[in-house]
Amino acid sequence: MSVEHGSVRGLICDLDGVVYRGSQPCPGAIEGLTEARQRGIAILYLTNNAGHTAAGIAERLAGMGVPAMEAEVLTSSQVAADEVAEHPERDEARRVLAVGGPGVRRALLDRGVATVTAGELAGGEEPVPWAVVQGYGTDVTVTDLTEAVYAVRAGALWVATNTDATLPTPRGLAPGNGALLASVAHATGQQPGLIAGKPHAPAYRRALQLLGLRAEEVLAVGDRLETDIVGARTAGIPTALVLTGVHGREDVEQASPDHRPDVVVDSLHDLARWWG
Ligand SMILES: [Mg+2]
């Protein structure tokens, strides 16, 4: 794959480590995104963050001075909800167990999928959910995991928003959604039947649909080789690694060919020359 100057019509842009770190915008991010927008490049922020809503993320971006509308944010919860809403086994007579932060439930409700909480199921009188959507949330409890295990054991479709093992925090790496999924996997002896987020295919399929562009017209920008770069490459989308996040130039040199981006830049601002 190659990226030709002036060939890019849309961006699939990761957030953490590309646009912001914590509460601060990454160096060059505001300039780069503002310039892309001025040149008429369509922008889609694609994040594995499942616990927050797209509206909340857009608001946070705007608060940092990064131009963003809610419709330009696609979370792994929204991708999971799209997959569930269109699933051939969808059973409208039964509800879907939503596990995770508010973003998981909100995304399902926005797509007309009725949800049930672990608390409601704990009474033992509700029908078994036909699917479980499991994403990260700071308030996920043992009751949530227990109900997920009961449902998966009873044959419910198990959908993971994403499988990230860890979550970077100022104090170090905290358990991410992958670690919470592992407890359900351990107790059921099963693995999720569907994974929505990066580097998996549903995230990129939905992102291209929303942009209304073909893979070769888009540039996927990220800071992690094993998710942002591998996932986009597999989907046939040209890739750029931005060095404001997790991986550096040495990581690229040591990476296997399928993990290597087409372009490496110091910041989002340095991408401007690709939109000619
Ligand atoms: Mg990132």
CA of 22 to the centre of ligand 1 (A): 11
Residue 2 pLDDT exceeds 70? no
Amino acid 172: pLDDT? 85
Average pLDDT over residues 205-212: 98
Q: How far is the CA of 129 from the centre of ligand 1 (A)?
A: 33
Q: If you measure from the C-alpha of residue 89 to the centroid of ligand 1, how many angstroms do you get, rounded to a whole number?
A: 33
pLDDT tens across 159-176, in order?
999 999 998 787 888 999
Rounded mean pLDDT, 100-118: 97
Whether the per-residue pLDDT at 92 is higher than 80: the answer is yes
40: pLDDT strictly greater than 60: yes
The CATH label, of 3.30.420.40, 3.30.1490.190, 2.170.120.30, 3.40.50.1000, for the domain at 10-48+198-275 is 3.40.50.1000
Going from the Cα of 108 to the center of ligand 1, the distance in angstroms, rounded, reads 24
Distance 215 CA to ligand 1 centre (A): 20
Superfamily of domain 77-195: HAD superfamily/HAD-like (3.40.50.1000)
Residues 213-233: what's their mean pLDDT? Answer: 96
| Domain regions of the chain by residue span | 10-48+198-275, 77-195
pLDDT value of residue 22: 82
DSSP result, the chain: ----TT---EEEE--BTTTEETTEEPTTHHHHHHHHHHTT-EEEEEE---SS-HHHHHHHHHHTT----GGGEEEHHHHHHHHHHT-TT--TTS-EEEESSHHHHHHHHHTT--EE-HHHHTTS-SPPPSEEEE---TT--HHHHHHHHHHHHTT-EEEES---SEEEETTEEEE-HHHHHHHHHHHHS---SEE-STTSHHHHHHHHHHHT--GGGEEEEES-IIIIIHHHHHTT--EEEETTSS--HHHHHHS-GGG--SEEESSGGGGGGGG-
pLDDT at 272: 79
| Statement: residue 5 has pLDDT above 70 | no
Whether 10-48+198-275 shares its CATH topology with 77-195 is answered yes
Q: For the whole model, what pTM was predicted? A: 0.94
Percent above pLDDT 70 for the chain: 97
**Is residue 1's pLDDT more than 60?**
no
Ion ligand 1 residues within 5 Å by Cβ: 14, 16-17, 223
In this prediction, residue 273 has a pLDDT band, given cuts at 50, 70 and 90, of confident
- Band of residue 276 on the pLDDT scale cut at 50, 70, 90: low
Per-chain mean pLDDT for the chain: 94
Active site residues: 14, 16
Q: With 90 as the cut, is the pLDDT of residue 196 above it? A: yes
